Structure 1
Amino acid sequence: MNWRRSLLGLTFCSCYLASHLTNKYVLSVLKFTYPTLFQGWQTFIGGLLLHVSWKLGWVEINSSLRSDVLAWLPASVLFLGIIYAGSRALSRLTVPVFFILHNVAEVLIFGYQKCIWKEKTSPTKICSVLFLVSAAGCLSFQDVQFDPDGYSWAVIHLFCVGAYKILRKSQKPRVLSDIDQQYLNYIFSVAVLAFASHPTGDLFSALDFPFLYFYRFHSSCCASGVLGFFLMLSTAKLKSVLAPGQCAAWTFFAKLITAGLSLLLFDVTLTSAAVGCFLLGGLGEALLVLSEQRSS
């Protein structure tokens, strides 16, 4: 049984690594910076594969979804904000910087649980939150590749991530499974992004994209859509099999190998101060994983 869980964890890490690095390649190397089209494509492929998987009986989707669509709509709006702002941010920031800023969402969740839900928190979690916010704050001054727009989009991204997770935790009892929720997210995102592609100018601007007819662009976009779907599927499976603390540990490991490999594949300028911020952020997330394991 343990080897099956390990295999599932390694599958998740592989999908996480491949998905993020492929997205980074399309956004930063090929510079396909048209988020309504890129994210619209990814959510379309994800929704299509999920629908086919449902019809083939590989996954189960609640057939009475219509009654729960309106209740889940605010979460779908936040999901759209997550992927749109995340795409904008990742196109301008290095992968380690993006992860450090992304982790600040846990600080928002901690504040909400502490102030609104009045939950008791361990000293380990308090330390992790302090380290996470300190790493992100210091990094904005030590990043020699600092991009104001990238950081601004990352802030929007982390706020959407925090609000999305809080909304999910607030659902008691949970009517929709993780797969149900993602199915609704895909449908909503495809509809909005398809409509928004023209007003934002992405639809016609993309016609001037220099790699529009190159196979490496086509193959990378296809890979990004398929890998995103498998990442979602492996994440849902991981959460259904493992305890929250174990899921957090696998996610932390996936981020470590993804950030480390990105240093070799993409243009990243490191300074001793920036490395210190990365280590501080890593320590903060490690303490967060430890607190999750102790509470689960």
Structure 2
Amino acid sequence: MAPNSNDDAEVRKALAEDSGSSNPLPPILCYCAASIGMTLINKFVVSGANFSMNFLLLCIQSTVCICCVLILKNARIISFRDFDVQDAKAWFPISFMLVAVIYTGSKSLQYLSIPVYTIFKNLTIILIAYGEVLWFGGRITRLTFVSFIFMVISSVIAAWADVNDAMPTSSVQGVMDSLNIGYFWMLVNCLTSAGYVLSMRKRIKSTGFSDWDSMFYNNMLSIPVLAVFSIVVEDWGSENLARNFPPETRHILLSAIVFSGAAAIGISFTTAWCVRTTSSTTYSMVGALNKLPVAASGMIFFGDVVTFGSVSAIAVGFFAGVLYAIAKNNQKKAETRETIIPLANRN
């Protein structure tokens, strides 16, 4: 008898869902470490005053990442499915959205400090939570809603502190122009991040992709998209290349880009691992709670200003994250109790 495609899809879906019952702590910790590392590396690369070739940067990172995983596969250290046209067609929208997420994130880091960037990522949690209500039948409790209010408050405090800190050193018009650009890219990044995480969770369940499968297809399909955008949009003239990669720091920048491509293996893998093992909202929440070490690293390595406003915004954002975690834990316990059938109601 010929195999039924619907049955095959159900089996792969069940395998993907069953794998989510494992211990969530390892993927969460690994994702935190990878997230901090990638944020610092990307901030270093794009922090140059004249850097404008973000698509080229991302294309190099994806290419290095693919080369690394293929080497690991040939060495039989890891295993993932071979490239398949049908799988590529099914996964291409997810990969395209990942390009948008990474690009808008790198543009945000060009104009915003690391603490402000990480705080505003909280808004993605709200978008994902309401997306899960629409797509996966999720529910938002009162305590969850209160945590969302504190997340918004922390973002407002961060923006207010950001403007006040920049005013004494620059013209008002120059500061506002720079911040407006940064916040615009941050808004787009929040929207695309929510769409990417929700879509990936849904597609993983339907395709039965493993974590390495997701990582491989994400980066492989990103390369042609990034290359085309780089050639069409970015200036490849010798003068612009010299501005983006000054001779005195060229080797350091290129080394950092190559290293970030290798490190991208970690962030791609741990993202898929964390989303599959927990949930898309929990994954985003982990990123929010991760803001303290990320913000601290920005202050230590990049000289981001430490003020009462910036510290207050981080503290409020962290409190919102803890409150949200408590709300989700209480909600999970309540749902577990509801599934238990009382003895008096059993037949």
Corresponding residue to 2:93 among 74, 85, 95:
74
Deviation at 1:66, TM superposition (A): 2.3
The residue correspondences of 1:195-274 to structure 2 (distance < 5 A) are 195-204=228-237, 205-209=240-244, 211-212=246-247, 214=249, 215-236=251-272, 243=278, 251=287, 254-274=290-310
Q: Which shifted more, 81-90 or 268-277? A: 268-277
What is residue 141 of structure 1 aligned with on the other side? Answer: 160
What is residue 277 of structure 1 aligned with on the other side? Answer: 313
Give the direction of change, closer, same or farther, for the CA distance of 1:23–1:31 in structure 2 (3 Å limit).
Answer: farther
Contact 1:43–1:186 (Cα < 8 Å) also in 2: yes
What is residue 132 of structure 1 aligned with on the other side? Answer: 151
What is residue 170 of structure 2 aligned with on the other side? Answer: none
2:78 counterpart SS class? coil
Q: Which has the larger radius of gyration?
A: 2
Distance 2:83 2:59 in 1: 25
1:32 partnered with 2:51: yes
What is residue 160 of structure 1 aligned with on the other side? Answer: 192
1:177 partnered with 2:176: no
Corresponding residue to 1:150 among 178, 182, 191:
182
2:132 counterpart SS class? helix
1:21 counterpart SS class? helix
Instruction: Name the aligned partner's letter for residue 148 of structure 1.
Output: N
Give the direction of change, closer, same or farther, for the CA distance of 1:188–1:31 in structure 2 (3 Å limit).
Answer: same
Corresponding residue to 1:190 among 216, 223, 227:
223
Give the direction of change, closer, same or farther, for the CA distance of 1:102–1:59 in structure 2 (3 Å limit).
Answer: same
Deviation at 1:199, TM superposition (A): 1.8
Contact 1:86–1:157 (Cα < 8 Å) also in 2: yes
1:58 partnered with 2:77: yes
Give the direction of change, closer, same or farther, for the CA distance of 1:253–1:56 in structure 2 (3 Å limit).
Answer: farther
Contact 2:299–2:306 (Cα < 8 Å) also in 1: no
Distance 1:98 1:56 in 2: 38
2:148 counterpart SS class? helix
TM-score, normalising length from structure 1? 0.84
Distance 2:268 2:136 in 1: 29
TM-score, normalising length from structure 2? 0.73
Deviation at 1:27, TM superposition (A): 1.0
1:92 partnered with 2:127: no
Contact 2:292–2:314 (Cα < 8 Å) also in 1: no
Residue ranges of structure 2 left out of the alignment (5+ in a row): 1-22, 167-175, 334-347
Distance 2:191 2:62 in 1: 21
Instruction: Name the aligned partner's letter for residue 266 of structure 1.
Output: F
Contact 2:104–2:189 (Cα < 8 Å) also in 1: yes
* Deviation string, structure 1 residues 199-258 (Cα, Å, up to 9, x no partner): 213433224335246332232222222222233345555667x65598678645543212
Contact 1:248–1:289 (Cα < 8 Å) also in 2: no
Deviation at 1:119, TM superposition (A): 2.6
2:231 counterpart SS class? coil
Residue ranges of structure 1 left out of the alignment (5+ in a row): none
Give the direction of change, closer, same or farther, for the CA distance of 1:291–1:206 in structure 2 (3 Å limit).
Answer: farther
Aligned length: 292
